[in-house]
């Protein structure tokens, strides 16, 4: 049975509608885990550290896709709630073309900047060649990756979350199969891992592009675009939090790597790489739920259905709290087996990774609330509040913690930085929710 944005949402209906987005994000993170597994176990610790060293820069280049998807879906969802279907389609078309053209331009810049940036970040003579070899291939898929990021939000707004899941499963399955074939069987080294990722990005980005270009039964279709400067400014403002969040996350990851090189050397960077691969699986639950529920919130805003908006927020907070508790418990229980999966070949490195995982797992409980809170305000077209939460959470709190805590606690201070930052971000989110309740009538 198709669930519409205009439906009345019970807990069960809300979960069913958000579930494809949750699974989509979880599976995206899982095939990232498989990437890391093959690189670490079949190519080696040094290439694994190099990939995780350069990855934040590569992800930083793709952040426009997140901004366009989150900000665009918020405004398009509002248009649909107001009954402005044609305006919604024209804006959607313009944003997709904008993402594709921007992706090509950013790729060209990235190819030129890759080696100087890797060197400036502190890649040593061992890491630098692997950073460049991997990055140059990955950048070929950047336009497709940006489209993939944008479509993650647009699937739900188009009332086609299941399609998003199917595309993600296809892209992820191809990535994992090619990882096994190119790295595990043919031993094509780090180039094989990069090529597997790029091909999967082509599937994830260009397959939905073809779908939305053709006649379809969804609420959206790519047709003749219309440039609306005011709407574009609103989209970029709405999506600023996702843009800020991903840029901040990339910068902070670079800072974490620099601190870890200082306190633990290559082992610290490798442990952090394994930690981030696995942590994203847990965090993706919260991101997927937030992406899956955001268009419903935007639709209620456009329809001025304040009672349903209030009920929806209460349900979402209870559900996200339940997910947070489950993720905390799972993280503590799975710290050792997941660490062993990645770095079980090196006992010293595995010990560092297990310790890091058990400390970082505490942050899972708190991370749920600022992630949802930022998405909630983006859905309400309040990009300023959303951006403040994201910027303080992903940058200010993280940078302050990772610079100060290691001075007192050494390597443990690096791992506790994320916990302290998420606690501070949760308190900030609560303050914003209380402060804005009268403005948005929730």
C-alpha dihedral, 23 to 292 to 140 to 68, nearest 10°: -170
pLDDT digits (tens, 9 = 90+) for 332-364: 998 888 888 777 777 888 888 899 899 999 999
This prediction has a pTM of: 0.80
> Residue 326 to residues 95, 133, 286, 393: CA-CA distances in angstroms?
37, 39, 12, 22
Whether residue 178 contacts residue 208, with contact meaning beta carbons closer than 8 Å, is answered with no
DSSP, res 410: T
How far, in Å, CA of 275 to CA of 353, rounded? Answer: 7
pLDDT at residue number 1: 56
103: number of Cβ within 10 Å? 23
| Alpha-carbon gap, residue 171 to 178, rounded angstroms | 11
pLDDT at 228: 86
> What's the pLDDT at 125?
82
Q: Which long-range contacts (CB under 8 A, 24 or more apart) does 98-101 make?
A: 98/68, 98/232, 99/64, 99/65, 99/68, 99/143, 99/146, 99/147, 99/150, 100/143, 100/146, 100/147, 100/209
What local confidence, expressed as pLDDT, does residue 48 receive?
A: 81
SS3 151: helix
C-beta neighbour count of 10 within 10 angstroms? 11
Q: Is residue 255 classed as helix, strand or coil in its secondary structure? A: helix
| pLDDT tens digits along 256-269 | 888 887 888 778 77
Nearest to 233 by CA among 112, 22, 91: 91
- Closest by CA to 368, choosing from 335, 319, 312, is 319
Q: Is 435 exposed, middle or buried (0-12, 13-18, 19+ CB in 10 A)?
A: exposed
Instruction: Domain ranges for the chain, please list them.
Output: 11-440
Q: Which residue in this structure is represented by tokens 């900047």?
A: 113
Which range of 37-46, 66-75, 86-95, 117-126 scores highest in mean pLDDT? It is 86-95
């Amino acid at each position: 049975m198709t669930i519409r944005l205009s439906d009345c949402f019970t807990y069960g209906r809300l979960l069913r509608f958000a579930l494809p987005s949750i699974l989509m994000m979880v599976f995206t993170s899982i095939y990232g885990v498989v990437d890391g597994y093959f690189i670490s176990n079949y190519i080696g610790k040094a290439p694994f550290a190099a990939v995780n060293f350069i990855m934040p820069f590569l992800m930083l280049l793709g952040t426009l896709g997140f901004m366009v998807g989150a900000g665009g879906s918020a405004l398009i969802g509002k248009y649909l709630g107001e009954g402005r279907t044609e305006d919604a389609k024209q804006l959607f078309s313009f944003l997709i073309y904008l993402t594709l053209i921007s992706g090509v331009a950013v790729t060209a810049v990235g190819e030129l900047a890759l080696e100087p940036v890797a060197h400036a970040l502190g890649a040593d003579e061992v890491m630098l060649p692997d950073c460049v070899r991997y990055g140059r291939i990955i950048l070929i898929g950047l336009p497709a990756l940006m489209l993939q990021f944008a479509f993650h939000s647009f699937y739900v707004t188009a009332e086609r979350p299941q399609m998003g899941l199917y595309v993600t499963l296809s892209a992820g399955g191809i990535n994992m199969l090619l990882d096994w074939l190119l790295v595990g069987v043919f031993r094509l080294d780090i180039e094989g891992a990069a090529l597997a990722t790029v091909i999967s990005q082509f599937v994830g980005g260009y397959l939905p592009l073809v779908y939305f270009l053709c006649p379809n039964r969804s609420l959206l279709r790519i047709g003749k675009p219309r440039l609306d400067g005011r709407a574009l400014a609103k989209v970029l403002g709405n999506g600023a939090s996702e843009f800020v969040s991903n840029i901040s996350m990339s910068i902070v990851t670079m800072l974490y790597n620099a601190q870890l090189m200082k306190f633990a050397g290559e082992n610290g960077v490798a442990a952090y790489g394994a930690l981030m691969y696995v942590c994203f699986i847990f965090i993706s639950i919260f991101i997927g739920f937030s992406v899956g529920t955001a268009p419903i919130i935007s639709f209620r805003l456009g329809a001025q259905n304040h009672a349903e908006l209030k009920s929806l927020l209460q349900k979402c907070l209870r559900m996200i709290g339940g997910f947070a508790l489950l993720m905390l418990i799972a993280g503590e229980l799975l710290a050792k087996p997941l660490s062993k999966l990645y770095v079980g070949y090196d006992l010293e490195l595995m010990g560092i990774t297990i310790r890091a995982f058990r400390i970082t797992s505490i942050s899972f409980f708190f991370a749920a609330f600022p992630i949802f809170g930022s998405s909630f305000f983006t859905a309400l077209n309040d990009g300023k509040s959303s951006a403040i939460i994201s910027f303080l959470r992903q940058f200010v709190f993280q940078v302050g913690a990772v610079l100060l805590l290691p001075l007192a606690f050494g390597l443990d201070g690096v791992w506790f930085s994320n916990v302290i930052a998420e606690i501070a971000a949760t308190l900030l989110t609560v303050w914003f929710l209380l402060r804005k309740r009268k403005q948005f009538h929730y």
